[in-house]
Chain A
């Protein structure tokens, strides 16, 4: 029947296009396409592997630093470098900060307006709003005056007839179910979260000079010198204090604003626990080393694979099983497009074969995206906070189990509810809680090292390229906010010979593979009801629940 096109999909990073076939008020088939390509893998060739992270980091400015970390992991793997414990801790702190910040921004600024009707907030009673807010948390700001102020601000905006960023929203759409008071509370927290994220991310500024695009990673460690007695050191007791205070305030915000808001919103949209399920295959590379990076079994978040929603079994992960197809992607492979390639043999040879712009529809039977299609043992995988939480849950991670079970109990929902659009939203919030609390712990561990006189931050044995073998290959991996991230590097004569990144959003947003299997977005959209094809709010809900990042996905 009707072909719906959403292009641009907004409130994401990058240029994503969704085409969907709607039959009988629901989606019968869907295609996900990335419409921008830069060629960073090609640009990296011939450059100094020690600075690859500076370049690779620019794959994305939203999940900034995850590509930097994965890049140094890859080069360290190739050269056999172990980093000092302090470097491991600083990396964990930076990464957890990133994930916490990214998740908060995603929920409030990228996703909330799919559930929250801004205009309906004008009808709210500030007193009742304050009662609602106080009933779900003790956030000190929740008084009527505060909500009244917010409401007046929104009112001024609407009356100005220039709604700024909010002008083209689907206000009044029948799929919005929140009462006006909940809408007003959410709008207030939207503004609150804007202030929170910029204050919280100063952790990155202290450790990395700036955010986005921190400037502090090093092959072999970090550039954050530590010294208990030097004001000129990046990390000293005064900075530790700042980091701790900031991390603790994040924990407060997550506990008192983010989690209660997610639970409140979810309560009004229970049918979305049964929609947007998708593939049922989940993968996590594991992240946050507790000791050596060579020992993933001791990572804070476990590594593993879950197939067909079967939480009773976690399969071990073997990176050798990862491949990428370009059968439906605008690339050529030497030797033909039908077979997949392992990233260590990966190729990036762009060849656009889509319709000539300006165009109306893509040729979805052929090649239709700049994303490659990654597969594990030839199977498509969903990656991201939900996959991580499920793998940890099924692996018996005590903290995760109690968090997940507690939340499911509060929502009065079975574990199967997690395989859904709202399941992703909830998993993201729970992960934020988990990481915010461990952030505090890692900062404390760093502080203990500082006090005990362990000031090592960089392993310089292999800094000089003359100490390197003539050629070497490495694999770096990490669990970025959006999921499993891998960089494969091949070094020859102290220069990068080949560089391949397989990125979380490539897994999730990728097109069909050589067998015609759908990617995670495409699968998750199936059967989604669409009330008004002109205003496909439901598509946004499910797609946004993955937190798409297309700059990452294509690079």
Chain B
């Protein structure tokens, strides 16, 4: 098969002055992110030491490149390490040197020479309406490319909401019939890394897990790694004490907002979102949306655009009513109507009592008999 005779990682790292201590530290960061017990550190170190740069291709379809950009923002390991040392990153439109024919040839070569060995990362949704004309690359549809490339991969990773479940592109009314990878190419092995974009800290950890154990980490019912998507944001949130205490931001910029109180009343979807943002955070652990003062929009949840919006309201829009009609409003109107009906009935009954002929007062003995009878 392919030329797998490259240099090993420690040699590559040593060549650029990375000490063994730094290397082990990097491995232990990965162990922590993966939520593995510390005893796995040895296995990770050993595996990384002998890892032989597996080939990776990164495909972009109906995307915004936010996941590519996000990948460029990772420090543990940096993208440089991924590209130069850890993996052989052979195709990625946004940053690869080659273009046009040469780029396509590079992709084709991977599919041909590394069949069943390479990792295919997919970013963006895949349009299925009108024979897939809404996304073509080199004259071929995204659907065709995805089938061709992902079905020969050892494993596929869908990064971001769009690649997982169609994301934004699939939101109502889904003008292009967009779907996620596992729906577009059924039957292949896919790991879904939801988020808009994905958090590269998790993606890096998945890749390291793969390099170490030659398999993907434990997955949930959506094929998302449990270590990243197993817990509710709300349960890990630093504002949680304020939630429990009943201290809420009520207006943007108010005292509560300045004091870092809970954003529940501003529509925060943390209680119905799972992800590890509060723990791994973003951009090298700098911050995450709630820490910076805005509610969570549950960007790592299934079909979150339609399911978790409107983002500034506690509950979804009741279908069939206007955007300014909340579920609560509907509830109160219905209660009012019922109270009105009861009042009307009460008045009617009082009148009936007054005008009821005495012979009807005992009532019929059979259910079917009526006052008129």
Q: Do A and B touch (CB < 8 Å)?
A: yes
Q: Which residues of A contact B (CB under 8 A)?
A: 5-15, 35-40, 42-43, 46-48, 50-51, 54-55, 58-62, 64, 105, 109-110, 113, 118, 149, 152-153, 156-157, 159-162, 164-170, 191, 194-195, 197-199, 201-202, 204-213, 215-216, 218, 220-221, 223-227, 230-234, 350, 352, 354-360, 370, 455-458, 460, 463, 465-466, 493-495, 534-536, 540, 551
Of chain B, the residue at the smallest CB distance from A353 is B133
7 cross-chain pairs, A with B, having the tightest CB-CB distances, nearest first: A232-B260, A61-B66, A168-B98, A39-B175, A169-B97, A209-B289, A210-B282
Of chain B, the residue at the smallest CB distance from A456 is B253
Answer whether A58 and B137 are a contact pair too, CB < 8 Å, given A47-B323, A162-B88.
no
| Residues from chain A with Cβ under 8 Å of B7 in the complex | 156, 159-160
* Complex Cα–Cα for A535 and B305 (A): 42
Of chain A, the residue at the smallest CB distance from B283 is A205
* Complex Cα–Cα for A218 and B105 (A): 46
Of chain A, the residue at the smallest CB distance from B73 is A198
| Residues from chain B with Cβ under 8 Å of A205 in the complex | 281-283, 286-287, 292
Query: With contacts A10-B103, A38-B175 known, what are 16 further pairs, Cβ within 8 A?
Result: A9-B99, A15-B60, A15-B93, A37-B176, A43-B175, A50-B312, A64-B64, A156-B15, A165-B89, A168-B102, A170-B98, A194-B80, A212-B197, A216-B294, A227-B258, A457-B252
Of chain B, the residue at the smallest CB distance from A37 is B134
Total B residues in contact with A, Cβ cutoff 8 Å: 107
Establish whether residues A167 and B97, one from each chain, have CB atoms under 8 Å apart when the complex forms.
yes
* Complex Cα–Cα for A160 and B229 (A): 37
Contact with A along B222-262 (1 / 0, CB 8 A): 00000000000000000000000000000111000111110
Establish whether residues B65 and A14, one from each chain, have CB atoms under 8 Å apart when the complex forms.
yes
Of chain A, the residue at the smallest CB distance from B11 is A156
Establish whether residues A352 and B253, one from each chain, have CB atoms under 8 Å apart when the complex forms.
no
Answer whether A152 and B15 are a contact pair too, CB < 8 Å, given A7-B137, A59-B64.
yes
Q: Which residues of B contact A (CB under 8 A)?
A: 3, 5-7, 12, 15-17, 53, 55, 60-70, 72-75, 78-80, 83-84, 87-90, 92-106, 125, 130-142, 144, 168-169, 171-176, 178, 196-197, 251-253, 257-261, 281-284, 286-294, 297, 299, 305, 309-313, 322-324
* Complex Cα–Cα for A105 and B251 (A): 37
Establish whether residues A233 and B292, one from each chain, have CB atoms under 8 Å apart when the complex forms.
no
Establish whether residues B173 and A42, one from each chain, have CB atoms under 8 Å apart when the complex forms.
yes
| Residues from chain A with Cβ under 8 Å of B259 in the complex | 227, 230, 232-233
| Residues from chain A with Cβ under 8 Å of B257 in the complex | 223, 225, 233
Establish whether residues A15 and B137, one from each chain, have CB atoms under 8 Å apart when the complex forms.
yes
Establish whether residues A223 and B312, one from each chain, have CB atoms under 8 Å apart when the complex forms.
no
CB contact between B96 and one of A160, A165, A352, A460 (< 8 Å): that residue: A165
Establish whether residues A61 and B68, one from each chain, have CB atoms under 8 Å apart when the complex forms.
yes
| Residues from chain A with Cβ under 8 Å of B178 in the complex | 38
| Residues from chain A with Cβ under 8 Å of B310 in the complex | 47-48, 51
Establish whether residues B93 and A357, one from each chain, have CB atoms under 8 Å apart when the complex forms.
no
10 residue pairs A–B, Cβ–Cβ below 8 Å: A9-B100, A11-B95, A48-B310, A156-B84, A160-B7, A168-B96, A198-B75, A223-B293, A225-B260, A457-B252
Which one of A43, A355, A466, A535 has the highest number of Cβ atoms from chain B below 10 Å of its Cβ?
A: A43
Of chain B, the residue at the smallest CB distance from A18 is B100
Establish whether residues A198 and B258, one from each chain, have CB atoms under 8 Å apart when the complex forms.
no
| Residues from chain A with Cβ under 8 Å of B175 in the complex | 37-39, 42-43, 350
| Residues from chain A with Cβ under 8 Å of B169 in the complex | 38-39, 43
* Complex Cα–Cα for A43 and B180 (A): 17
Establish whether residues B311 and A209, one from each chain, have CB atoms under 8 Å apart when the complex forms.
no
| Residues from chain B with Cβ under 8 Å of A356 in the complex | 131, 133
* Complex Cα–Cα for A114 and B78 (A): 24
Establish whether residues B100 and A536, one from each chain, have CB atoms under 8 Å apart when the complex forms.
yes
Which one of A14, A47, A212, A536 has the highest number of Cβ atoms from chain B below 10 Å of its Cβ?
A: A212
Establish whether residues B134 and A191, one from each chain, have CB atoms under 8 Å apart when the complex forms.
no
Q: How far is the CB of A187 from chain B (nearest CB, A)?
A: 11
Of chain A, the residue at the smallest CB distance from B141 is A357
Establish whether residues A210 and B288, one from each chain, have CB atoms under 8 Å apart when the complex forms.
yes
CB contact between B252 and one of A60, A62, A149, A460 (< 8 Å): that residue: A460
Answer whether A209 and B89 are a contact pair too, CB < 8 Å, given A202-B286, A230-B260.
no
Establish whether residues A213 and B197, one from each chain, have CB atoms under 8 Å apart when the complex forms.
yes
| Residues from chain B with Cβ under 8 Å of A215 in the complex | 289, 292, 294, 297
Of chain B, the residue at the smallest CB distance from A13 is B65
* Complex Cα–Cα for A156 and B35 (A): 33
Establish whether residues A202 and B64, one from each chain, have CB atoms under 8 Å apart when the complex forms.
no
Of chain B, the residue at the smallest CB distance from A537 is B99
* Complex Cα–Cα for A120 and B290 (A): 48
* Complex Cα–Cα for A435 and B83 (A): 31
CB contact between A460 and one of B78, B95, B251 (< 8 Å): that residue: B251
| Residues from chain A with Cβ under 8 Å of B252 in the complex | 218, 220-221, 223, 225, 457-458, 460, 463
Answer whether A54 and B297 are a contact pair too, CB < 8 Å, given A113-B97, A210-B282, A227-B259.
yes
* Complex Cα–Cα for A202 and B94 (A): 21
Q: How far is the CB of B252 from chain A (nearest CB, A)?
A: 4
CB contact between B55 and one of A162, A204, A231 (< 8 Å): that residue: A162
CB contact between B260 and one of A165, A202, A231 (< 8 Å): that residue: A231
Establish whether residues B138 and A8, one from each chain, have CB atoms under 8 Å apart when the complex forms.
yes
Of chain A, the residue at the smallest CB distance from B263 is A223
CB contact between B94 and one of A7, A11, A159 (< 8 Å): that residue: A11
Q: How far is the CB of A386 from chain B (nearest CB, A)?
A: 23
Q: How far is the CB of A75 from chain B (nearest CB, A)?
A: 13
Establish whether residues B297 and A493, one from each chain, have CB atoms under 8 Å apart when the complex forms.
no
| Residues from chain A with Cβ under 8 Å of B97 in the complex | 10-11, 113, 118, 165-170
| Residues from chain B with Cβ under 8 Å of A39 in the complex | 169, 175-176
Establish whether residues A535 and B102, one from each chain, have CB atoms under 8 Å apart when the complex forms.
yes
Q: How far is the CB of A226 from chain B (nearest CB, A)?
A: 7
| Residues from chain B with Cβ under 8 Å of A13 in the complex | 64-65, 94
CB contact between A153 and one of B15, B53, B173, B287 (< 8 Å): that residue: B15
Establish whether residues B172 and A43, one from each chain, have CB atoms under 8 Å apart when the complex forms.
yes
Answer whether A494 and B283 are a contact pair too, CB < 8 Å, given A35-B137, A230-B258, A358-B144.
no
* Complex Cα–Cα for A354 and B313 (A): 43
Of chain A, the residue at the smallest CB distance from B99 is A10
Establish whether residues B92 and A162, one from each chain, have CB atoms under 8 Å apart when the complex forms.
no
* Complex Cα–Cα for A191 and B5 (A): 25
| Residues from chain B with Cβ under 8 Å of A168 in the complex | 96-99, 102-103, 105-106
Q: How far is the CB of A246 from chain B (nearest CB, A)?
A: 10
| Residues from chain A with Cβ under 8 Å of B15 in the complex | 149, 152-153, 156
CB contact between A58 and one of B66, B101, B105, B253 (< 8 Å): that residue: B66
CB contact between A202 and one of B17, B283, B309, B313 (< 8 Å): that residue: B283
| Residues from chain A with Cβ under 8 Å of B105 in the complex | 168
Of chain A, the residue at the smallest CB distance from B161 is A58
| Residues from chain B with Cβ under 8 Å of A35 in the complex | 135-137
| Residues from chain B with Cβ under 8 Å of A460 in the complex | 251-253
| Residues from chain B with Cβ under 8 Å of A536 in the complex | 100
* Complex Cα–Cα for A534 and B102 (A): 9
* Complex Cα–Cα for A37 and B124 (A): 12
* Complex Cα–Cα for A38 and B174 (A): 8
Q: How far is the CB of A113 from chain B (nearest CB, A)?
A: 5
| Residues from chain B with Cβ under 8 Å of A350 in the complex | 134, 175-176
